[in-house]
């Protein structure tokens, strides 16, 4: 903390000069003194406001240069009441799905002169709340949240106090707010229907934990497609849980070796798809499973290089998700009123081979 820094260390001189909280950075007052003008004149120059003669401006600029002055936005913010920053709480910036989403938000923010503060919740509701509230304490103008938890009432006072808030990728819990989602239900239904259209009747679904909204929706889409086709869903064909590779691997193997082995798999998100591909296409894929025929696969979320691996996917547009949410946020910040808006973005099925593998003969 600040108190661990001894005065003698702080600025290289051990004099009795009172330590200023901001080190000893020059302030507008210092610039004014040096330029022999009033404080407000410096402010005018720094902010490019009119009403300063060219000569005065030059003298002020010189003083700014000489002193190495840079405006302290903390003070400006306090006075103006706007931070020109927005917050984004997401699951994990290292996930290839959220990186592009965040970047899209950043671009919109930049177009509006705002900076973006990211925070990773690591899928932990407590951490989500902690982060969101920390951002509110810093008085971000707006907040975009990819929920980890299911109760966002903690944000009610903030929203009421004027923090524009948009939820993305998953809906808010127990409060009504602007929301931008991908069509998880429709996408999963289409992906499953695609497999059915290619002759499959025993199809498995491996998804994330069911309390995650997108996971639940995708499961619902899968079931809907099966029902549409009049197909039963075997007891061991559905597996929801953490997306850790070990669990997914075991889940996929179990589906392939049960009494009614599946001939195709719908993977519930990018991480699951990756592991599924490893299991299904790995060197020892068929070993120990008794399979001899390749298993069809449709993954939710697109992947880099998926085209080269021939993986059929139901793709969502992470960038569009971020852009749409950010645009809605700034619309609110620009004064747009009205009821909370709910946008659903379509998904796109991209056939690349793995989803078009037919079932083994004699399975229909």
Partner DNA sequence: ATGAAAGCGCTAACAG
Partner DNA sequence: CTGTTAGCGCTTTCAT
Residue 99 is a binding residue for a copy of itself (CB under 8 A) = yes
Long-range contacts of 332-337 (CB under 8 A, 24+ apart): 332/142, 332/164, 332/166, 332/178, 333/112, 333/141, 333/142, 333/164
Name the DSSP class of 149: S
Q: How far is the CB of 274 from a copy of itself (least distance, A)?
A: 7
Tell me if 98 contacts a copy of itself by CB under 8 A: yes
Does residue 164 bind a copy of itself (CB under 8 A)?
A: no
**Maximum Cα interatomic distance, the chain, rounded to a whole number of Å:** 93
Give the ranges where 68-114 is alpha helix by DSSP (H).
73-80, 98-111
For DNA, which residue of 67, 76, 115, 231 counts as binding (CB under 7 A)? 76
CB of 322 to a copy of itself, least distance (A): 10
Which one, of 335, 329, 338, 336, lies nearest residue 140 by Cα? Answer: 329
Is 253 among the residues that bind a copy of itself (CB under 8 A)? no
Helix (H) / strand (E) containing 36: none
Contact 117, 131 (CB under 8 A): no
Counting residues that bind DNA (by CB under 7 A) gives 32
Q: Is 103 in the site for a copy of itself (CB under 8 A)?
A: yes
Phi then psi for residue 92, to 5 deg, are -165, 115
Burial of residue 333, with CB atoms counted within 10 A of its CB: 0-12 exposed, 13-18 middle, 19 or more buried: middle
Q: Which is nearer to DNA, 14 or 36 (CB)?
A: 36
Residue number, 16 or 283, with CB nearest to a copy of itself:
283
Footprint of DNA (CB under 7 A): 2, 20-22, 25, 27-29, 36-41, 43-44, 46-47, 50-53, 55-56, 71-72, 75-76, 78-81
The site for a copy of itself (CB under 8 A) is made up of 2, 4-5, 9, 20-25, 68, 70-75, 77-83, 85, 92-96, 98-100, 102-104, 106, 115-120, 133-139, 157-158, 160-162, 274, 277-278, 281-282, 303-309, 319, 334-335
């Amino acid at each position: 903390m600040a108190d661990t820094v001894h005065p003698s260390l702080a600025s290289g001189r051990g004099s009795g000069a009172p330590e200023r909280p901001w080190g000893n950075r020059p302030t507008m007052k210092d610039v004014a003194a040096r330029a022999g003008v009033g404080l407000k004149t410096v402010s005018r120059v720094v902010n490019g406001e009119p009403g300063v003669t060219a000569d005065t401006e030059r003298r002020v600029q010189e003083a700014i240069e000489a002193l190495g002055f840079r405006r302290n936005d903390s003070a400006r913010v306090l006075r103006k009441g706007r931070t020109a920053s927005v917050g984004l709480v997401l699951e994990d910036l290292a996930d290839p799905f959220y990186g592009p989403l965040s970047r899209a938000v950043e671009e919109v923010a930049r177009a509006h002169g705002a900076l973006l503060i990211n925070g990773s919740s690591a899928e932990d509701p407590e951490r989500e709340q902690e982060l969101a509230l920390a951002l509110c304490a810093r008085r971000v103008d707006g907040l975009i949240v990819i929920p980890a938890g299911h109760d966002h009432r903690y944000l009610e006072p903030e929203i009421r106090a004027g923090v524009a808030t948009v939820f993305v990728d998953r809906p808010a819990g127990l409060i009504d707010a602007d929301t931008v989602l991908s069509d998880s239900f429709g996408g999963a239904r289409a992906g499953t229907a695609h497999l059915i259209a290619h002759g499959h009747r025993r199809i498995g679904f491996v998804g994330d934990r069911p309390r995650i909204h997108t996971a639940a929706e995708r499961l619902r889409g899968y079931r809907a497609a099966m029902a549409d086709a009049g197909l039963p869903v075997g007891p061991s064909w559905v597996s929801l849980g953490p997306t850790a590779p070990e669990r997914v691997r075991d889940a996929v193997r179990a589906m392939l070796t049960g009494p009614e082995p599946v001939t195709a798999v719908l993977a519930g998100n990018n991480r699951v798809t990756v592991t599924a591909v490893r299991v299904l296409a790995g060197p020892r894929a068929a070993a120990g499973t008794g399979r001899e025929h390749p298993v069809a696969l449709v993954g939710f979320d697109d992947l880099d290089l998926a085209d080269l691996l021939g993986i059929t996917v139901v793709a969502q547009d992470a960038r569009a998700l971020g852009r749409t949410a950010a645009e809605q946020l700034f619309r609110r910040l620009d004064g747009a009123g009205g009821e909370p808006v709910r946008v659903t973005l379509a998904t796109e099925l991209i056939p690349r081979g793995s989803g078009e593998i037919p079932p083994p003969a004699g399975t229909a």
